[in-house]
Each structure stands twice: as structure tokens, then as C-alpha cells.
Amino acid sequence: MEEKTSFLKNKIDFDSPNKNIMPITSSIDNEGKLRIGGCSIEELVKKYDSPLYILDETTLRNSCKAYKKALERYYPGESLPIYASKANSSIFMSSLIASEGFGLDAVSEGELLTALKGGVPTEKIVFHGNNKSDKEIEFAVQNNIKIIVDNDHDLKRLEKISNFLNIDLEIMVRFTPGIECHTHEYIRTGSFDSKFGFGLEYLKTLFKVISHTKHLKLNGLHAHIGSQIFELDPHKDLGEIMVNVILEAKKYGHDIQELNVGGGLGIKYTQEDDPPSIDEWVKTISFSVIKACEKNKITFPKLMCEPGRSIVSTAGVTVYKIGAFKEIPGIRTYLSVDGGMSDNPRPITYQSSYSACLVSNPLNLNSRNKYTVAGKHCESGDVLFKEIELSDCNTGDLICVFGTGAYNLSMSSNYNRIPRPAALLVCNGEADIIQKRESPHDLLKYDVLPNRFIKQS
């Protein structure tokens, strides 16, 4: 019988998976080896090779249900959680979140098309982006997808399209609320200095401009204050700021019926991380909006939020095979794996930290060695871990890295012409491919050799 455990014997939080390091179905079999979703990781690698992305369906669905239940519990008005698909975009993920009653946000035609192919209803999709192309805007309009206006460039083109087609278009406006959170500067999107959204000081002019358009109907506001957030206090202020903007918009004849408060709830990547629960985050946001609405005696708007990382990150792991060792006496020992920055660019990009264990020794028993885990790419900075403690390991052993469901596959590349890994879904002892492994030959599909070079050869 398998003994269920979380990383380093921590208690598993089934109601808020973002507070765990491991997927909630993680367990140790009778041989002391790691399993996820009832599947042996060693057997999965034998069948599907490595590196390998694995997503746990139970963790994904529990995360979705946690948002739905919390919104129903704390917010008296209509609500809609919207999956931020940039975290992990695929037909499978679109299908899963649609089955859980979620909407989806997209920032490109590719993400929009993926959402539609996955069965997300068009009325539950919103289209973001600070530099949408004409082609992308036309695609969204043709498919009745609501567009979130990010700047004047967006607004002018939408006015032109709506006039040309002689149809009314419902739009939302994104603005920067000026709330700063303690997070990495590259992913801080709610401060005054941001490439996203209109500044607060410009909103009066913006509302006046929209009121003079013929077919643009402003019925929603959007604000987002950051990513991987562990603080609740900034969200206590967000509701009042957004409701004040509703009141300002009303002066110009706009009936705001939808508030989208963005996402950004953090997850537990390492033992030191202590994010709020999904329930706590939703409660804070809901009460903030409720308090502001009651204070100003306005009807509760439809409340939207956009979780991404906190839905998919903890559900995902990446499995690598150990290759070469290099000991530099008195300095460090390098342990190289068969992947790296092409399947997880976050450590080299953001200096992001993760947790990991040997598949054959997930509890890290008798650990006495520290390794620097290096990727196989031709970059000195391709390092996944600096000085991670592991028990004795050898070439051919497997390392499982946790919390890789978000921004790993979606940000992956073919640097050094290395193919992307396969991705699997695991549940109740079964594994299904949700993305095929690329081959080196796949990478040549879009290369074109000019005719004059062919003639020369």
C-alpha cells in the first residue's frame, strides 16, 4: 500500500494546491520511489523518455474547484474565474478549464485559436495584449470575443472596425491602479510605470473619447497588480480603486457591469514560500469589492479574476535524467541533466527557485551531498539549481523538479536545436499524451534553403 506524502513530509493541502510543493496525488510506493497520479515516474520515463513534463489532473481540478467554491461562498453577485492561459496554453488545458466552468484570457491569435479548439465558449474568453495586431483584433471580433482595450492604438482600431462593420462592440478597459507588490520587477504590472494599461490620470479623457464613439460599448474594467504575490493587503485596496473608477465612468454615460481584478496569487515553489490560500485570496478580493460597492450604494458588478500560475503550476513536474558529473575540489560538484533552459527558462531569466528530489529517494533520506544542477545547453548560466542537497546519485538516475506546470512548456524554446519534451496527463494510474515529443527532424520543417544555394550544391 502506498504511503501518501508531500515534499519533506509536509501535510498536503487538498483544498488549496498552491500551498503545496508537490501535486496532491504524489505518493511513495513500497520500493520508496515517487509516484504521481498513481503512476510510476520511472515507468513513464521508460515509455516516454526524458525530459518529461507531467501534469496531475486531480491537482488541476482541485485548484479550479477551489476558485469556484470561494467565489460562490464570498461574493453575492455573479462571478467568473478566467484562466490566464499564458501560464500553460494547450488544447487540453483549454478543454479542462472549460469543463470546470472557467473562462480564459488570451494574448494572441494562437492562444485564442487554442481556446476555441479546446471548447471554451466565446462569451467566456477575453483578449488581452499591449500591441494587438490588426489580424488578431479582426479574429477576435469575428469570433465575438471581448477585447480588453490596453491603449489608444487599440481604441482607434476598434472604433474603425466597429464603424466599418456597423456593429456594436462590448469592450473592457485595462488601467494601472498604482498598487505595487513585492515581486520581481520584470513581472510587476500594476505600478504607475508599466507597459500595460491606461494610467489613472488619463481615464477621464478616455471615458469622454469612448462616449463619443458610435459603436463601442464600455461595460467592464480590468486591473492587475502583479504576479507570484504573497501579500493580501494590496488587494484590500484594489476594490475601492476599481469602484471609484466605475463611478467616474458613470459620469460619462458608461454602465460598468464587469470588474476583472486580474490574478497573481503565488504558489509554494520552496520550503520558504508561504502563499495565501486560494480561499483567502478570493475572500480578500470579494470583501474589498463588496465593501466599496455598499459604501457607494451601487449594484455588485460581475466579478472576474484571472488565475494562471496558481491553477497549473503545482500540478506540473519535470523529470530529467542525470548524465555527467564534474567535481571542482573545494568549490562545487556539477550534476548535468538532459534538459535545462530550453524547457525551463525561468531560472536563467528570473533567477527563479524550485524544489526537487531524486525519483528513487523522494524523502531525501541520508542526504549529505550538495550539487549544482546544470542544463545541457551551451550557456554558463544554464543552471537549474545551485547547491541543492541530494542523497547519493549516479548517471542514469532521475530528478523530479516540482512546480513546473506554469511558464515552462509555454516559455520553452528550441535553443541549441533541442526538441521540446513530451507532456503527459496522469490520473488514477493512467497516463495520456497531451503534447507529443518533438524530434530533431521536426525542427527542420520550417527551414527553407534558397534555390540558388540548392543549384550551387
For 283-307, give the DSSP string.
HHHHHHHHHHHHHHT-PPPEEEE--
Q: Could you give the CA distance from residue 453 to residue 266 in angstroms, rounded to a whole number?
A: 52
Element (DSSP H or E) covering residue 190: none
CA torsion sign, 189 to 184 to 243 to 121? positive
**Quick check: helix, strand or coil at residue 164?**
helix
List of residues 6+ apart from 163 with CB closer than 8 A:
214, 215
Q: Could you give the CA distance from residue 67 to residue 80 in angstroms, rounded to a whole number?
A: 9
Q: Strand runs (DSSP E) across 231-274, as ranges? A: 258-260
Q: Could you give the CA distance from residue 118 to residue 132 in angstroms, rounded to a whole number?
A: 22
Q: Is 305 a catalytic residue?
A: no
Please measure the distance between the N-terminal and C-terminal CA atoms of the chain and give it in whole angstroms. Answer: 64
Break the chain down into helix, strand, coil percent, rounded to 5: 35, 25, 40
Q: Which three cell numbers stand for residue 355?
A: 524544489
Phi/psi at 344 (nearest 5 deg)?
-150, 90
Q: Which of the following is catalytic: 39, 64, 305, 378?
A: 378
Strand partners, 383: 374
Query: Cα–Cα distances in Å, from 241 out to 178, 179, 214, 246?
Result: 9, 10, 28, 9
Specify whether the CB–CB gap between 141 and 159 falls below 8 A.
no
Phi/psi at 441 (nearest 5 deg)?
-70, -30
Place of cell 467592464: 220
What positions carry a catalytic annotation? 378
